[in-house]
Amino acid sequence: MSNWEAVIGLEIHVQLKTRTKMFCRCPNGFGGEPNTQTCPVCLAFPGALPVANRRAVEECIKLGLALDCEIAERAVFHRKNYFYPDLPKAYQISQYDEPLCARGKLAVPTENGDITVGITRAHLEEDAAKNVHVAASGRIHGATATLVDFNRGGTPLVEIVTEPDLHDAESAKRFLQLLRQTVVELDLSDAELEKGSMRFDVNVSVRPAGSDELRTRTELKNMNSFNFAAKGIEREIARQIRVYEQGGIVEQETLHFDPAHEESPPMRSKEEAQDYRYFPDPDLVPVHPPVDVVERLRGEIGELPGARIKRIADTLSFYDADVLVTGGLDRLWADVVAAGAEPKEAANVLANQFVATGIAPSAVNAAELAKLVSARAEIPRAAFDEALAKTGDAGFTAAPYLEQKVVGDAAELDPIIERIIDANPGQAEQFRGGKQGLLGFFVGQVMKETGGKADPRVVNERVREKLRA
């Protein structure tokens, strides 16, 4: 038992995929030629006036409802003042003490019950522009110049802040995966970590086990993978414990994890308590979400991923249910099972093989996939893999693949096996002398000879038997 307990709180930014930006009518979804999706508002020309994007407000409310938040009767946009080249107004429009959504929770199911994480707030803000450092490495260090692409400036962002309710890296990772899946299913964002449409910062501290004090935390920024985050958290917990056990104190600081991708205004420890001089943006009216709109949005939320994990874990193992749901595969799984496939077998194929194909589950004809799953043991592995890779094609049918049966009949395989053993007397001798590893050599030859159609289990068994003879 460790004498220390970790305390973890998360701040997550999600880019909304609205048609237009947060406060102007420029197209949202940067990626075009730099600085082509801009206007006087998002370039901060003097006198240009922002207007809040209704759709973005509704989407933030929807996410807030999914996170069990209270929706404010009045929400206010504030100016958060700081200077950085990617911020032309020298302030970001954000929300401060009157956010759209607050006091929610998200339950992360585990094998031993839920871990409930408090949601402090979910508010709306605008993204900054993108700085592009001109250097081979893409990093600011060693760059010869920095260019600014304002296409991203003004992209609607929802920031979600959690209470410091998490206590280990694995749970933090699962929380993030569940939140990501929630956002994706609500169709609010692609939430793609590699593209930066979901980004998160992790706050970590440790305290003596059993205490409820909150000690000084450090913040890990710019994480772009869940596994990376989990590793970073683990390392940081261990480091802080070492510091305390050696009689030191943990300094409040920001640790940049992947500077190659994104960067934040540089911060040193003391500047963390930066004064942003927040004040209400006088150019924007407060938002008063009408009750009927909130209720309509609530009605649009289907069964959420956490609930589905628990429901599916009644049929499958908790692990399988979790993988299917957080991978966005459980609806296809249910359809494949409804079409006649065995549940566990279907889960295995989807979670282990289908997921690697990168095919969109929605593109798949579940009935055809069910046929394939049910016949998996009878068709050659190569044919199965090929079929699986085509399940997303329009008009895909399993039939041609189902005809390719594996050869599992000893009478058919034995002569081939004998021929191969006769052709390789040296290896056969070595195998008999104890070099067990050569079994694979013979099995491989047989598989090759049969064009991959032999049942590997039967081949293994027969080869072993023949070599011993």
Using the rule CB under 6 A, give the single segment among 8-16, 103-111, 263-271, 421-429 that binds ligand ADP: 8-16
CB 21 within 8 A of CB 156: yes
Q: Applying CB under 6 A, does 94 fall inside the site for ligand ADP?
A: no
Give the nearest distance from C-beta 2 to Zn ion in angstroms. Answer: 51
# residues contacting ligand ADP (CB under 6 A): 15
Q: Applying CB under 6 A, does 203 fall inside the site for ligand ADP?
A: yes
Instruction: Considering the complex, state which of residue 179 and residue 329 has its C-beta at the smaller distance from ligand ADP.
Output: 179
Contacts of 288 (CB under 8 A, 6+ apart): 73, 74, 75
Residue 371 CA to its chain's centroid (Å): 30
# residues contacting Zn ion (CB under 5 A): 5
Instruction: Considering the complex, state which of residue 214 and residue 377 has its C-beta at the smaller distance from ligand ADP.
Output: 214
Q: Applying CB under 6 A, does 99 fall inside the site for ligand ADP?
A: no
* Residues between 13 and 42 that touch Zn ion (CB under 5 A): 24, 26, 39, 41-42
Q: What is the x/- site pattern for Zn ion, positions 38-67, by CB under 5 A?
A: -x-xx-------------------------
Residue 212 CA to its chain's centroid (Å): 31
Contacts of 102 (CB under 8 A, 6+ apart): 69, 70, 72, 119, 120, 121, 122
Hey, how many other C-beta atoms are within 10 angstroms of the C-beta on 71?
21
Give the nearest distance from C-beta 91 to Zn ion in angstroms. Answer: 16
Give the angle subtended at the CA of 166 by the CAs of 160 and 170, to the nearest 5°.
105
Q: From Zn ion, ligand ADP, none, which one binds at residue 9 (CB under 5 to 8 Å depending on kind)?
A: ligand ADP
Q: Applying CB under 6 A, does 205 fall inside the site for ligand ADP?
A: yes
Q: Applying CB under 6 A, does 109 fall inside the site for ligand ADP?
A: no
| Cα dihedral 215/216/218/219 (nearest 10) | 80
- Among 436, 413, 410, 447, smallest CA distance to 428 is for 436
Pull the structure tokens for residue 150. Answer: 């304002």
Hey, how many other C-beta atoms are within 10 angstroms of the C-beta on 333?
29
Give the nearest distance from C-beta 252 to ligand ADP in angstroms. Answer: 9
Give the nearest distance from C-beta 155 to ligand ADP in angstroms. Answer: 20
Burial class (CB in 10 A: 0-12, 13-18, 19+), 21: buried
Instruction: Considering the complex, state which of residue 214 and residue 238 has its C-beta at the smaller distance from ligand ADP.
Output: 214
Using the rule CB under 6 A, give the single segment among 96-104, 212-220, 240-248, 329-337 that binds ligand ADP: 212-220
Q: Would you tell me which residues interact with Zn ion (CB under 5 A)?
A: 24, 26, 39, 41-42
